Every structure is written in C-alpha cells, then in structure tokens.
Structure 1
C-alpha cells in the first residue's frame, strides 16, 4: 500500500455551514427555476434551455436532448480518448416503487470476451452519464460490461430534483436494479463488482452491508463515509434543521456552496463540468441533507462489517470528502483483500478533474485491480 502524507485541513462530504436558527428559517425558500446559466459561448436559446426549472424529469430529459450535439464537441480527455466500438444502450424501467428509472450500459466489442459486470453508483447531484461516459467506455474496452442508473430525483430518472426522502430507499433502489442486471444472460455467471463515487461510495458500502455475499468486489472513489466533526452544524442548528425537515422536507434550506474548485484541479475541466446541465447544483433540500448526514453516520458505525474485496481510491488534497476517512475504512474493514491508493496532490474528482496523466493512472488502477480478481475466477 502506498503511504502518503495527508492534508491537515479537510472538509466534509456535505458542505454544512453554521447559520443561526433565525437565518435558517428566513431562508426556507424553494427555488422555482434553475439559476441563469453561466456557461460561456452558448447561444441565447441554449442559455434559456439550461436555465429552466429542472424539478421534474421531463424537463431534464428535454435539456439533455438539446445539449446532445454540444456535448459531442467538448474538449476533455475523457471524451477525446474514448475507445471506439463500444456498444451502448439506454432505457427506462419502472421500479417496485413505481418510479421510472433511467438506465445505461456500455459493452465491449462483440469479439471481446466479457470478464465481469461492473455496476456504477454516481455522486450527489451528479448523473450516470456525461463524465462517466468516458470512464465507462475505457473500462468496457478492457472487457467489462458496465451498467449505471440515475437515482430517483437525479439525472433523467423520475422524482423531484435533488430530493432524497430516504437514503435507505435509495440503497434499496440500487440493490433492486443491479440484482436484475446481474441476472442478465451476458453476465449471469460472471463476477460482479460495484463502483461508487463520493456519495455513491456510501451507497455501494450500504449495498454490500445489506447483501454481503452479492458482490465479488467493491471499488470506492473518494467515498463519502464520514463527515468531519468540526464541519457539522452546531447542536442547536442541527436540532432546528431536524425539526424543519419533518415539516418542510423539500425546502432548499442548506446554503449552497460551489464545490467545483474543490473537485476539479484543472480550470479547463472545471469549465467543461458546467455542461452537465442536468446535474443538481441548487442549495441542498432539507430532508436530503439530513438523510446524507444520517447515512454517513450509519456507514461509519459499520465499517468493520465491510467484508468484500475492497479497492479505495482517494486524492490526498481532497477537501470535499476526507482521505483520512478512507484510511480509517481501510484499517477497519474486515476484508481480507483490500487496497488503498492515495494520489498525491489530487482533488475530489480523480476520475475526471485531474491532469490527464492522473486520470489515466486512476482508470488503469481500477482496470488492473479488476483484471487481477477476474483472472482467478
């Protein structure tokens, strides 16, 4: 295992601030429209489209369609170097809770033997498309069937944008969907892995804890598995927020903080991130914030129960999720096969926001780890 010096100052995976209870009450306003687009070089028509209310899935789907050609022209390592010949499919399916879920797959070329299934869990506010398209294509080109879905309320799936009424339900949605994926004929008898990024790391961990024998390995990228104590709201504010979450759960009460500078080390890649126009970047909804806090506390209390083969990847300079928490997870997990890799100087977005050579190295580390565990099957 690579041992590196960790930064002394880190921020929590959830950008809490410490407003007074009075300020919290006065800011209980749910925005009715997305803020005006600040993307440079867009036509006025596309700016208007990007600025519309994205609360519900039909509008998010229209916006994504309107930007499809623009996305194909973006200047980013992931898009420019994506392997050709990858077979992709997109579809919608209704889950057991009656929600229409957006799903996507990336398959290697027909003449490439599939080694395993890899199921992806995206981060808070993000989507299973856009940047992950490039990541998925690279992994698929190495012989893996890659699957992903947008959570209810995120991306192209149904649900109020950015709203997580129950983190446990969200985990169950993931388990339900990927259980069906793992029964598909093309991957039914193959190893199965789950990859979680940031908040998706907490989801992947909880999925493994609920079904410990269902995965041949868990890959965590800058996982949200602990919130630093110093970043939590004061006890008084937390009490107010908890009470308010019961009466106005959908209100966007947590002050917004732009985390793009903490996620993308390279300014050029930070600008490209703005084109993921269906991501959620408004102030966090009250119930969502409380659910994220509860989920990280639950995960932290069960780290010793994590038993699957484990790969943890984290940027040493990450100030969104704490790399020390990944070190703690590595030490506490009961997994006999576990690996921790820390990337010196790297920020939160190690899959997409670093210099090209670092992104390439992170992807290669994931693929190499998968290859080693599939070769013995």
Structure 2
C-alpha cells in the first residue's frame, strides 16, 4: 500500500463530496441496506428466543449477540488489510455474499443454534460491508469533510436499523415473530448485493491522491504497529477505541436486554418495537448534524458529552417504569450515541495517515464491535443473578466512566491538523 500511494492517480480523480456525489449517494443507500440487516433482529430475535424456543436464561438468549459481536470484531480487524490488498469493492461484495443466507436461516431455524450461526454470518456481513462503506466515503471526501461523510453514512445505516425495528415489531404483532418480519432482510440482502456488484467503483485511487498531497513521505507501517497505535500507543486512538468498545457494549446490552425488560412489564410487541426503533432512529437522524459539527467544533467535546448523555438515558431506563419514561430514555440514548459515533470515527481518521487509515479504522472497529459480545454476555450474567434493571444500571455506570477517560486522555485536534 505504501508503494501504491506514491504512484500517480488518474487525472480524473478528485477529492470532495460534490465531486463524488453520485458514488457517495450510492454508498449511503447501500449502507441503509446494511443497517436494515441488523434492524430485522433488534425487536424480534430476542423474543423468538424467549417466546418460541422457551429459553429461560437471559445469558443464553443474548448469546446470538455475542456470536455476532465477536465475529464482526474480527471481520473488522481484517477488513482494512483486505481492502488495501484486494480493493474496497471486492471486500464490500464479499460481505454481501456472506450475508445472503442470514434471513433464510432465521426464518427456517429449527433450534436456537441456527440463530447463533446466522448471527455469526451477519457479523461477517456487517464487519466487511459496513466497514467498506465508511472507508470508501472517507476516501472520497478527503480530510476536510470526514465528520460529514461519517455522519451521513451512519445516518443511513442506523435510521434503517430503527425503521426496520419498528416495522418488524408491527409485523410481529400482526403476523407473529416468524416468518413475515424477516422477509425484509431478504430484500435488503438482494438489493445490497446487486448494487455493490453492478454500480460501486473502487476508491483506492482517491487514497493515492490524498497521500501524494502530503509534503513528507511516511515510511511503511506494518499491521502490528497500526494495531499497537490504535490500541494503546497513541493516546487519541486509545481514547477512541475504549469509548467505541463501551458505546457498543451498551448497545449490545440494549439489543438483548431491553426487549426482555420491557416485555417483563407487559409491554406488547408493537410498543416494544417503537422503543427499539426510537433509539437507533434518533441516533441515525441526528448524525446528519453531529457529524458536520465535529468538523467545526472538534471531536472531543461531543464524544465526552455524548457518553455522559447515554449514561443518563440508561440510568433512566433502569430506574423508571412506564412507556413514556422509557421513550424519553430512548431519545436520550439516541442523542448521546449520535454525538459519539461519527465523532469517534472522524477522530480515528484524523489521527491516522492516509496510507494506514483503513487499517487504523479496522482496529478501532475491532475494539468497538467486540463491545457487542462483552456487553451482551456481561449484561446477561448480571441479569440472571441480580435482575434486568441491575444489568442496565451497571452498563450506565461504565458508560459514564468511559466518557471521563476520554475527557482526560484525548487531545483535541482541529480538522486542519488532521494528517
């Protein structure tokens, strides 16, 4: 990759959102389909475990999230290296091909083991396909609009998560948990695969163009060094990685625990679907604003405040009873996550050079998405021993601590200082 960056890029290659709007918009649409694949599971799959398979253990029910999180984390880890070696488009298409069987496996699953395996495949799909849509958008726009690029990408993905969670909750209330709500996933998978194969163009030439604009030529950086930098050696990358892990830790907890928590108070499928939709939809929509704001105001303040707002929303969920309070809490969690999510990815992009940015983002996303597994399993264990409310409150406290670590560890960097 280092040798490639020194090569001249084709003369028609330019950086910027306006210059690449058609490909950028296509990638936004494709990431909506990627997000929709997760959305089909947000409301109905935990309830399939408890209602259809009669699983009493919370830890066993959330095991499907653990399989998803671990596999997605490792798919993220290798996705940047694969993208640099094979090209972004090939990795995107591979991610979709792996995801095609997932909705069929959930529809036909005769046992919970099938659901766990399906979520392992979904983890590969998300780790490769979502990673590529982020990386390709950052490649296209250049250093001045990273927050906007990430905000639009995550807006599309998580709005699709929220809308699909709502629709599947409604369909489940009308037609049952399977198969009707899962039909959406078949459509998402087929459309995402076709668009990726037929219309997406690779963006490695944009990386070469950006790298050639740097006055100094950086020496090649190996994957081990990038992993160390993104994990602990660079304080900004360390702060971002731990915050990303805790952010998805509380998301993994809410994915598995919230439907069971709400159902334990007699809430029906449709209202659970509304609560499960409000959080990611708020998160998705507000990133249109928070992504560009991080370009103007900087990353650190939004990350710290966002983690603390998430913590307030999680405490409110654990300590209150009733649909209206939980709706307010879901809005707060969505607001906090919208402040954090694009700012973290943009902060990692700022701290990494173009020649190893894809790998740095992959390491960050490895730690971030490992949080799904840690959050689901730890919350399940706490819930089985102490109750669902204790599981939610414990994650809320950890989220507050993570925001405090960012406040002390991260150095603010203006976008003009991005490498």
> What TM bracket, shorter-length normalisation?
under 0.3
Structure with greater helix percent: 2
Structure ranking higher on relative contact order (CA contacts 8 Å, 6+ apart): 2
Task: Report the TM-score, using the length of structure 2 for normalisation.
Answer: 0.21
TM normalised by structure 1 equals: 0.22
